[in-house]
Structure 1
Amino acid sequence: MAGTQNHKFTAVAREGAWEETVRAIAVEAPVALEFNGIGYAVLMATPGDLDDLVVGFALAERLIDQADDVIGIEAHATGHGTVLRASLANRVGDRIVDRVRHRVSESSCGLCGIENLEQAMRPLPVLTAKWAGDDAAIFRALDTLDRVQPLNAATRAVHAAACCAADGEVRLVREDVGRHNAFDKLIGAMLRSGEEWAGGFALLTSRCSFELVEKAVLAGCPMLATISAPTSLALDRARAAALPLRVVVRPDALLATVP
């Protein structure tokens, strides 16, 4: 299966017995992103749906506004990973230089300097799209989600991001070892195919972090549901952007943010 590798292990039982076994492991590899010839970021990702990843990532970084802003994508395999070279339309070209100017002073401990703190906390637009469903739809989507994750079924090691209709039907799913990458892949796939949220919602197999909230808002997602808990900043950013959240989603219960 694409995105997996088979590895040999020694299976050891608690009682001390052991035997050799082969297990499918999720692939995690460096993926370098270049926009208009400028090196922008290196992600650790699962190779697969990489064109979707580029488009979704570019939207989340506010480099583009729509799929047509990405003119072309070329993938180049190297001995260390994959380089994705994206060409963006002239009308958004200046955004790359501006963002890179802020990113070059990032360090291993995070963003450095007041200017970069302002960049990290850039205001989000107030969400205008409205969720047209009810909480019962989230439980229906959750009941389906495990059956539409082939990579996770094989490895039990990847995240999924799903586009769900207002009634809970799971329309589109993307998987990746990184929760951010999975959501970027989903958003990119929707942009490239013309898929609309249409009053539906996103369901993610991860905690609700502020980056995922921002990706949802910038993608016009009417509601974000996650199977794990939120962070304080995620709640703050969602409230400011009027994004409804459903978190700690379980088969029998969930937590809803207070409007």
Structure 2
Amino acid sequence: MLDSGEPAPPPVPGCVVRKIQRRQGDATETAIDRLAEEVPVAMRYNGRSFAVMMATPCDLEDFALGFSLSEGLIAHAGELLDVDVHPRVEGIELAMSVSAGAAGARIDDASLRKLPGRGGCGLCGTRELEDVVQAPAPVDATLVFDTGALRRALDALLLHQPMNAATGATHAAAWADSEGRIRRVREDVGRHNALDKLIGAMAREGDDPAAGMLLISSRASYEMVVKAARAGIGFIAAVSAPTALAVELARGAGVCLVGFARAEGYNVYTFPERLRVRP
């Protein structure tokens, strides 16, 4: 029970409030703080367990769809027939039904992940090296964006992260149109989860992945580039740095990759001709 002498802050999805002791110098006070939720989310396909991800329990239907697409367990959104969300004592179970022809209907002991996927890792539970570095197919996305559109999207990104504003503990993946207007955002304690949720939301709404830009509040690691490319996204702007492997895979997949993206400047690592400078 909260009893700090101050009213509880208004609720924010994906957050909980807790009483804390705040110290500044020699001063001490009791206060109320918001914390990002993080729970185990079990992914099951046609009754078969595949993975357990540590995630923020919001937008779980989008997570189910985006994860299934990113992991190659379904080829398109229509192969995910149903998603049932089952709260459990230990966490949340996403019971998914996929069509008989989908890869998710053929999960066996050789394909399932043997470890839970941590919020900061997209590879936990992958057992073989050849299962890790899998270059995505080239994307069919050659749209040229104006630098002004990228700046507008970056300027607006923080305003679309209520969970992070409340807790300072979550990542965001955002989808902006060619004018730099942010259309969709998903947040999560895991950067990979946030991107999966966004991909799921875009697939559900029928967005054209080649018609806009992806903004991520994290670094652009190998897995983030692969997930985006598999979804058909051809432009990624990461607030932090890319890795060398991410740059090489982006080049091979035809993805324009921007790192250290800020409104005042950025680095373009691949296909700079797809970011047009306007006076």
The answer for unaligned runs of 5 or more in structure 2 is: 1-11, 118-123, 272-279
Deviation for aligned residue 1:94 = 6.3
Deviation for aligned residue 1:233 = 1.3
C-alpha distance in structure 1 between counterparts of 2:58 and 2:154, whole Å: 24
2:100 — aligned with what?
A: 90
Contact 2:150 2:180 (8 Å CA) reproduced: yes
Please tell me whether residue 59 in structure 1 is matched to residue 69 in structure 2.
Answer: yes
Contact 1:203 1:224 (8 Å CA) reproduced: yes
Which residue, out of 43, 56, 59, partners 1:49?
59
Structure-to-structure mapping, 1:213-228, within 5 angstroms: 213-228=225-240
Task: Please provide the CA RMSD for this pair.
Answer: 1.9
Output one character per residue of 1:33-53: Cα deviation in whole Å (capped at 9) or x when no partner. 001111111111111100100
Output one character per residue of 1:22-65: Cα deviation in whole Å (capped at 9) or x when no partner. 01111111101001111111111111100100110111111112
C-alpha distance in structure 2 between counterparts of 1:168 and 1:199, whole Å: 11
Which residue, out of 33, 53, 66, partners 2:43?
33
C-alpha distance in structure 1 between counterparts of 2:196 and 2:116, whole Å: 23
Cα 1:74/1:258, change in 2 over 3 Å: closer
Output one character per residue of 1:168-188: Cα deviation in whole Å (capped at 9) or x when no partner. 110111111110000000000
**Structure with more of its chain in helix, by fraction:** 1
Which residue, out of 10, 15, 18, partners 1:4?
15
Please tell me whether residue 238 in structure 1 is matched to residue 247 in structure 2.
Answer: no
The answer for unaligned runs of 5 or more in structure 1 is: none
Output one character per residue of 1:130-157: Cα deviation in whole Å (capped at 9) or x when no partner. 2331222111101111111121121121
Equivalent AA in structure 2 for residue 31 of structure 1: V
Length-normalised TM-score, structure 1:
0.92
Equivalent AA in structure 2 for residue 9 of structure 1: I
Contact 2:54 2:116 (8 Å CA) reproduced: no
Output one character per residue of 1:181-212: Cα deviation in whole Å (capped at 9) or x when no partner. 00000000111111223521100000000000
Equivalent AA in structure 2 for residue 222 of structure 1: G
1:145 — aligned with what?
A: 157
Length-normalised TM-score, structure 2:
0.86
